[in-house]
Amino acid sequence: MAEDAGLTRASGGSILGPFVTDSHVLLPELDDEGRLAASGAWRLILHSRKNRENLIVTVPYRGLITATRSDAPSGRHWPSEVDQVFRESWIDSGKALSLASANAREVAEWDSPPVLFELSSRANLNALASALGQPLRDGMFKVETSWRISFERRDAESRSTAIITVPAYGDGEPTIEVHSYDKHGRPIKFGPITSGS
């Protein structure tokens, strides 16, 4: 579809989407090794600078691979898609899960499969201040690439989500944040944890 297309995001999700939102039956999208389960699909977003468009590709566990295109002109937002294209050799989902589990005992002990896998690029918000007041252009934002893996734990009184961020190329330590809410949705605990990571 485009010879220069480069990956900007990959995420694991459900092929069933809104059809099971209100169901009490939980169908896993990913297995405990970070691979697709029967109800899962990978959604890939690639950017072509030459064609000034994004390619959105959905790859289900089984069935047809679909692809759509959307306009993505330069300067539409910052950092641009050009800034967010991954270089080669990012670690795969299984390796990311292994690194996350080895460095996050608090999460590895949770008896649940991951609920979200996402490989993505994000601007470093701490570095944005230096960009203010300058003409916007490609390459001016510091962009960090990482896997984000989320786990959930629920009971009658609370819900907790642990988000582990693993550098996309395996060149740094994972970081962990735990967000906990009571049964009414009020925050109980929110933020990074340092022990065991």
Residue 184 lies in a domain: yes
Tokens of 31: 């297995």
Nearest to 99 by CA among 153, 166, 17: 166
Dist CA 102 CA 178 (whole Å) = 17
Q: Is the pTM of this model over 0.85?
A: no
Residue 1 lies in a domain: no
Residue 28 lies in a domain: yes
Q: What are phi and psi of 151, to 5 degrees?
A: -125, 150
Residue 183 lies in a domain: yes
Structurally, the chain folds into a number of domains equal to 1
Residue 45 lies in a domain: yes
Residue whose entry in the numeric block shows the structure tokens 């679909």: 66
Calculate Rg over the CA atoms of the chain: 18
Q: Which residues span the domain enclosing 43?
A: 6-193
Q: What is the pLDDT of residues 175-184, one digit of tens each?
A: 888 888 888 8
- Please give the helix or strand (H or E) that residue 100 lies within, else none: helix 93-102
Q: What is the pLDDT of residues 104-114, one digit of tens each?
A: 666 656 656 67
